[in-house]
Amino acid sequence: MLQLQVQDLHIHFKTENENFHAVKGINLSLEKGEIIGLVGESGSGKSVSSLAFMRLLDKNALISGKVFFGETDLLSLSESEMQRYRGNQIAMIFQEPMTSLNPVMTCGKQVAETILIHQKTDQKSAKAKTIQLFEEVKLPEPAYTYQKYPHELSGGQKQRVMIAMALACDPKVLIADEPTTALDVTVQKNILELLLKLKNERDMSLIFISHDLAVIGEIADKVLVMYKGEIVEQGPIKEVFLNPKHPYTKGLLACRPSPELQLAQLPTIHDFVSFHNDKIESSDLAIDDLKRQYKVSVEEISAKRMILYQREPLLQIKELNTWFPKKGNWFEKEKSYTKAVAGVSFDVFPGETFGLVGESGCGKTTLSRTILKLIEPSSGEIIFNKQNITVLSAKEMRPLRKDIQIIFQDPYSSLNPVKTVGDAIMEPLQVHQIFNSNQERKDFVLDLMQKVGLTPEQFHRYPHEFSGGQRQRVVIARALALQPKLIICDESVSALDVSVQAQVLNLLKDLQKQFQLTYIFISHDMTVVKHMADRMMVMNAGKIEEIGFPESIYNNPQKTYTQKLISAIPKGLLTV
């Protein structure tokens, strides 16, 4: 039985300068109880299509085609008629829960409001149903969570509130738009399991949107691959995974780091797809052939380690503690503390990529900010380049800051929106008075931009004019401008499409060789850390669980926590 059928859907966006054809005649059939995975990069048309199904696009969107829910064409309905379907029959979990939830209204009231709008009921019954939904989506202490505001919940908990809201009116079709992007792998696994459980219990149909084929492989029955507004390949999940026909699908499958193989660089979409007169031209490359070409031998890994670990450490962390006082009773004699970093010790060697992995809240970011002296340590020592920087004042630290740089998780929030990217990259050079004139600095920046894959013409553009991957390149160039000895990469690829992520990871490896860089690479994604790191450290609750070579930790984890992280890695690509 068909729940949703999309026929020849076209979406144009009309602006002053152009008529942009965002979705180009897609067709889709969703059976009762079926899960369809809709996959593709940012800008491929996935989210725009789903918003069209829900009739949530702006007025400047010109939509043609048909979207049947049962026998009803949703595109032919008036707005008041559509409101009877939206939320009741077809619901959506949006990509970013923090921006979708009202920050000044409790989570419970927001879900209860949805019930009151769509169902004839009273406040008391709506509250009771909301608490029941919170139990169903496994939120801790549902009655207490009802009273909490969005900022008081973790990312995974906010996503569960959004799922509860979408389920509030028992829809027949649920659209989940990137519901696990940037979540820890363990939280992601929980959300996927929850959606499968709820789908089976309620006999719903589900459209699951993602840029990550590994995640799609965990949940979907059928996959549709979108590229530049078109569906370029579709079929049962195993058939598409094991025998991809379209070069773009091959690229998506190949570019995610493999936990099984150690590659010198990751395949990218461009290895499989090229353009000639706006038409796709495919290469004859097979995924396995390309991975064999990029594979690093055991002998190469051993030779590199022999060189790396004969050197003196560049960074030594000794019994480092960073504690924060808890809010407590004013009359308490002894303060209690949150031990964000608790007795951590490790060394980082010149030219090494030291991986740091763990879930949100494990202390990774606090540790990185403590190393940078952006947070003062409670005790312990930070020895950088044979100098104990723990005891240095802010003024004494200033000259050293050019030697230790950081690439933040969100490039957009770390760039000044009213400053051109060229000026943003040049600013550190001016602060530290490197070079004799602004012209010399500009020449250096233009050369640096080309090294990170940006063009000189982009010097005068603003951050909002760049894609996410391009902004990440700008932030990398800014970190490189001072020619540092150590760069801390703090979740620097977690929110990127897997294809763009592969390009940025390859770039970081290339720059490391070119500039003799040392990295501390922080991520919640163990497959990414395993690909990048020479050694890795697993953190949990402010402490070190284990340190070792990536293949040793992945193949033979010693601690239960590490085993849990590894078991949560999406297995969808392991068959490829």
In the structure encoding, which two tokens stand for residue 308, read together? 């790396």
pLDDT at 329: 54
Backbone φ and ψ for 164, nearest 5 degrees, come out as: -60, -40
Report helix, strand or coil for 397. Answer: helix
φ, ψ of residue 63 in degrees (nearest 5) = -115, 135
Q: What percent of the chain has pLDDT over 90?
A: 57
Tokens 């002998």 belong to 299
Q: Of 101-110, 270-279, 357-366, 417-426, give the lowest mean pLDDT range.
A: 270-279
Beta strands 486-490 and 315-325, pairing class: unpaired
Q: What letters, b where the CB count within 10 A reaches 16 and e where it falls short, cover 183-210?
A: bbbbbbbbbbebbeebbeeeebbbbbbb
- pLDDT attached to residue 324: 87
Q: Which two tokens stand for residue 385?
A: 């380049």
Measure the CA–CA gap between 208 and 22, rounded to whole angstroms.
20
| Band (82; pLDDT cuts 50, 70, 90) | very high
Is the pLDDT at 277 greater than 70? The verdict is no
Q: Distance from CA of residue 24 to its chain's centroid?
A: 27
Whether residue 41 contacts residue 226, with contact meaning beta carbons closer than 8 Å, is answered with no
Share of the chain above pLDDT 70, in %: 95
Q: Would the CATH topology of 2-250 be identical to that of 302-327+336-567?
A: yes
**What does the pLDDT read at residue 182?**
67
Is 51 or 269 the better-scoring residue by pLDDT? 51
* CA–CA dist 274, 269 (Å, integer): 9
3-state secondary structure of 103: coil
Q: Are 537 and 356 in contact (CB under 8 A)?
A: yes
Average pLDDT over residues 250-275: 85
Question: Lowest-confidence range among 220-224, 321-325, 420-424, 496-500?
Answer: 496-500
Contact 373, 342 (CB under 8 A): no
Taking phi first (over 0 means left), then psi (-120 to 50 degrees means alpha), and beta for anything else, what does residue 191 get? alpha
Over residues 403-408, mean pLDDT: 91
**Signed CA dihedral, 248, 259, 406, 359: sign only:** positive
Position 576 confidence tier, pLDDT thresholds 50, 70, 90? very low
263, pLDDT greater than 50 = yes
| CATH number among 3.40.50.1860, 3.30.450.20, 3.40.50.1820, 3.40.50.300, domain 302-327+336-567 | 3.40.50.300
Residue scoring higher pLDDT (276 or 131): 131
Kindly state the average pLDDT of the residues 180-208.
87
pTM of the model: 0.86
- How far apart are alpha carbons 114 and 271 in whole angstroms? 47
Q: What are phi and psi of 273, to 5 degrees?
A: -125, 135
Identify the pLDDT of residue 353: 97
CA distance 372 to 404: 7
Q: Give the model confidence (pLDDT) of 147-162 as tens digits.
A: 999 988 877 788 889 8
Pick the most confident of 133-147, 244-258, 339-353.
339-353
Q: Write the pLDDT tens digit of every residue in 519-530.
A: 999 998 889 999
Task: Give the pLDDT confidence score for residue 569 in this predicted structure.
Answer: 87
Residues in the chain: 576
Residue 380 burial (10 A CB sphere; 0-12, 13-18, 19+): middle
Residue 573 scores a pLDDT above 60: no
pLDDT of residue 107: 94
Residue 575's pLDDT is what? 44
Give domain limits for the chain.
Answer: 2-250, 302-327+336-567
pLDDT given for residue 574 in this prediction = 46
pLDDT tens for residues 509-559? 999 999 999 999 999 888 999 999 999 999 999 999 999 999 999 999 999
What pLDDT is recorded for position 334? 64
Mean pLDDT, range 292-300, rounded to an integer: 88
- 153-165 burial: b if 16+ Cβ within 10 Å, else e: bebbbbbbbbbbb
| pLDDT given at position 348 | 97
Q: Which helix (H) or strand (E) holds 136?
A: helix 123-136
Within 8 A by CB and 6+ apart from 466, the residues are: 421, 458, 474
Cα–Cα distance, 559 to 567 (Å, whole number): 12
pLDDT of 295 over the 80 cut: yes
76-90, 166-180, 286-300, 304-318: least confident range:
286-300
* Interval 466-493: pLDDT, tens: 877 888 899 999 999 999 999 999 888 8
Query: Which strand (E) or helix (H) includes residue 146?
Result: helix 142-146
Dihedral sign of CA atoms 22, 159, 469, 206 in order: negative
pLDDT of residue 130 exceeding 50, the answer is yes
Bridge pairing between strands 35-39 and 205-210: parallel
Which DSSP helix (H) or strand (E) runs through 536? strand 535-540
Q: What are phi and psi of 84, to 5 degrees?
A: -75, -25
Nearest Cα neighbor of 49 from 22, 75, 68 is 22
Residue 137: predicted pLDDT: 87
Read off the pLDDT of each residue in 451-467 and give the average, rounded to a whole number: 89
The answer to whether 540 and 561 have CB atoms below 8 angstroms apart is: yes
Mean residue pLDDT across the chain: 89
CATH of 2-250, one of 3.40.50.2300, 3.30.1740.10, 3.90.220.20, 3.40.50.300: 3.40.50.300
Q: In this structure, what DSSP letter does residue 263 have?
A: B
Q: Which residue has tokens 């860089």?
A: 517
Region 108-134: mean pLDDT is 91
